[in-house]
Amino acid sequence: MIALTAFSVLAALLVTYPLLVLIEVPDSRMVNALFVTAAAAFVVAPAAGYAFISLVFELEAAHSKLNQLSTHDGLTGTFNRGYLDSRLAIESTRATRSNLHFSVLMIDADHFKEINDQHGHSVGDLVLQKIATACAQCLRPYDTFARYGGEEFVALLPSTSLEQACEIAERVRATVSELVIISPSDRAIPVTISIGVAKLLVGETQTESMMRRADQAMYEAKRAGRNQWVCQKS
């Protein structure tokens, strides 16, 4: 800011002095005119600089917020479906090219419609937020966790075999089942999830089949009584 002010004062004097000479201002008045010019620049430059810097920070904050909104779910704070799809393509391509394991968890909140009907959508929103936080805490920094839609979430597990993915699924299931959520009427709301586990098969270049297997396994977990995980059938 000091450098900006000094530059502004110098620039103002360099512009003003030739103009005063050109219009033949007397020397007795030139000194006063240059003093006024320098004083004005000294006052205006910091204010203008502060306004400019503030605008830059506001634009940066707006850009950061826009980027956040474009990749994250507004309710749970997890990644959204669009970001998930992009990471799914990247991770599956990497796994295929490098001959690495790649697995996925399809996660669905149990009895979610009943929770909404009995306790209201605000409680339902809270349940989704708590589930998202609990699931994310069980995953590794390089995993991708996203809201897939409604009460469904997906976890992408790169460099993870099917057996390792099942271990992670059990950890996620157990953590969520320990959640304690109290309704506005002071009733404890049991929260559980059903999970389908699937892996990218050798030679498989498209992810649709893997996601479909995970979805089918998740529904098998639902039919088997919920609050459990089911691994894809080979």
Per-residue pLDDT tens digits for 11-58: 655 555 565 555 555 655 655 655 565 566 555 656 555 454 565 555
Ordered structural domains, the chain, with CATH: 2-71 (no CATH), 81-231 (3.30.70.270)
Which 8-state DSSP code applies to residue 1? -
Whole-number Cα distances in Å, 183 to 1, 35, 154, 163: 54, 71, 26, 37
**What pLDDT is recorded for position 62?**
47
Model pLDDT, residue 233: 73
Report yes or no: 8 and 45 within 8 Å, Cβ to Cβ: yes
Average pLDDT over residues 155-164: 97
**Mean of pLDDT over the chain:** 84
Q: In this structure, what token pair is assigned to residue 113?
A: 């419609």
96 pLDDT higher than 70: yes
| Catalytically annotated residues | 151
pLDDT band at 100 (very low <50, low <70, confident <90, very high): very high
Q: What is the pLDDT of residue 183?
A: 86
CA 180/CA 140 separation, integer angstroms: 24
Backbone dihedral angles phi then psi of residue 123, each to the nearest 5 degrees: -70, -40
Per-residue confidence (pLDDT) for residue 206, from 0 to 100: 83
pLDDT tens for 170-203 read 999 999 999 989 988 888 999 999 999 999 998 8
In this prediction, residue 71 carries a pLDDT of 94
